[in-house]
Amino acid sequence: MLEQFPLPFSLFPPMALKNNPPAMARRGVGLAMAIASAWMTNQAWIQARRDGAFSMLAALAGPAFVVIGLGLVLFKGYRQERLERGEDITQLQGMDLLTPRWKAVLGVALGAAAINYAMLTGLI
């Protein structure tokens, strides 16, 4: 259907898969994400101590995004890793795109979220 109405420019140029954000931009976003998420986690702890109740979103998402943000600061993006190795990522989607390193980062992030929630609820 879109072929009937050609645009004077391409929304998704063929080289778009090779374009990666600059390392400093990725690290800056990762650092900002980690700091904001650490603040969110701290707020959940303050709520729990002060009110006896806390935001489940902050308790779970906060620690997970701290880990993911630090992963962005420390490591290359999964897409960049695969492209530098010369892999074809056009057929990959979802979890298949993640490299073993980023699967480990995701696992640590989920573990951090679970541990923080368990500590806030008194399970640990």
pLDDT at 6: 56
Per-position pLDDT tens, the chain of length 124 = 555 555 555 454 444 445 677 889 999 999 999 999 999 999 999 999 999 899 999 999 999 999 999 999 999 888 888 888 888 888 888 888 888 999 999 999 999 999 999 999 987 8
* Cβ(41)–Cβ(56) below 8 Å: no
Whole-prediction pTM value? 0.78
